[in-house]
Structures are given as structure tokens and as C-alpha cells.
Structure 1
Amino acid sequence: MSSVKYEDGWPQPHRIMDAEPYWAALQEDRLTYQRCDTCTQAVWPPHGFCPHCSGRSLTWHTSKGKGKVYSHSTVVRGPTATWQKISPYTVGFVEMDEGYYLFTQFLAKPDDVVIGKRVEVRYEKRGTQTQPLFALVDQ
């Protein structure tokens, strides 16, 4: 079992080998995902093979960073001092326009986050790692 590492109070992601291109791209303010070269399905989270057809050829693509709120939940009491400073905050899944689902934090007042609302990515450095967060956009 690995322990959580913190930088400037923020927990840092557990980085697995298949996801390294994703984390590197975020450092350049780019959101990426994989697509299977065999069945053309979007693949997320990163894999060494396609979970849809078992194909072994996956290609990294840059996302447009747009989608819609698929689900959400508001955290009223943050688990650490850093999270408590920004409470309440809302997390959930975004249904990305490219056809995959990404878990994230929403940059909006909790009552403004509604299933189906359009969102787009914003990048925020937390500790040493840039994270993709999502803001509501006018439709």
C-alpha cells in the first residue's frame, strides 16, 4: 500500500506508468486521453490495452476540454486543512465530448452545478502537479 504524498498541502496523484503521458501533458495545460486504433472507442482511465475490444494499439489524443456535468456531489467538510479552506466544493464526473468520463472538481458554487450543464477545463497547479478542474460555461 502506498502512502499519500503532499506538496503545499495538496495530495499528489498516484502516478501509474500507463498514465504518465496524461500527467506530462497536464503540466503543459493540455488534457489528453487514449483512443483505440482498432475499435475507435475513447479509453479512460489510461490502459495498456483497450477495455472495449482488447486491442493493443492505443493512441493519445488532446481533448478539446469540453463536456457536460454527468454527476456531482458537494463536499461540505474537507478531509484536510487545505481542502477545508475551499469548502464547500463540488466534485463529480464530466461526460467529455470525446466520449469518456472524467472525475474532477467543479469551479462553481455548489448550487450552480446541475446535471447536463456545459463545462470546460481550467488548469490549476496544486502542489507540483497541474490538475484539470472544470468551470461552467454559458450555453
Structure 2
Amino acid sequence: MEILKRNGFTLIEILVVLGLVAMLLTISIFNLSLIGKIEERDMVRLLVRDLENIRSDAMINKRATSFQAFNDNNFYTLIRNKGDVSQTSESVYLPEDWTFKGSSTIDFGNKGIISSTVTIAITDDKGKTIYFTVGVATARIIVKEVNR
């Protein structure tokens, strides 16, 4: 009996390899999108925490404080007034390709109250806009996401 030489792959072998490659690509794409969501969640938590901290600082120390967002360089700062002197904390930069929509300032009075409702908008690198609305009476922070 003569033994045949194989010069190629069978259809089943090709389908198995293609299935494995497709599965690996699906897993890697899922992980990349998960990293973006974690980065977004962390940035939202940081901004909300900073807004709450600056408001609490105004209430506890009975001195006006401010939150300033700068669109030009995509960062924000927290300003604490110590008598006649304003003390600026270090700047917090947004992740790369994230932008503030317009520059915004939130001034918390010496009781932690703001004079009017303020909304800050951030657009991420995928075009999703996240709105942070700080209310007047309670200074509660409402976060709303809008996909574009």
C-alpha cells in the first residue's frame, strides 16, 4: 500500500485555527473596552469626590472655596481661601483626548452653598459626554452620561 504525502491542511484544521484566532481577538477587544470604562469610572469618581471635598471644606472652615475647570489645558483646580489669601491645590488633568466643554467655575460660599445651579461637561475620547450638575440648595452632584 502506498502512503500519500500531505502538502496542505484539511478544512477542519483551518476552521479550528480560525475559530481560535476569532476567540482570542474577541477576548482582547473586550479587555481593551473594559480598560476605557475603568478609566472613565475613575475620572468620574475623582471629579465628584473633589467637588464634594471642596464643598465640605467650605462648610467646615467657614471660608469660600472654588472649583475651576479650564478647557484650554483640560485640567481643573481646587481653590481654598485662607483669609485674604487663596490657596490653589495642584491641578488635576483629564486623561488624554478628554476635554471640558467650556471653562467653568463653581464658587462655594462660606456655608458650602452655591448661588446658582452649575453644570460641567466633559467629553471623553470616544465622544461620550458626561454632565456633572451641582444643585443650589443641597449641592448634590448629579452625573449624567450622553452617548453621541
Regarding TM over 0.5, the answer is no
Higher relative CO (CA 8 A, sep ≥ 6), structure 1 or 2? Answer: 1
Q: Highest Rg: 1 or 2?
A: 2
TM-score by length of 1: 0.26
Higher strand share: 1
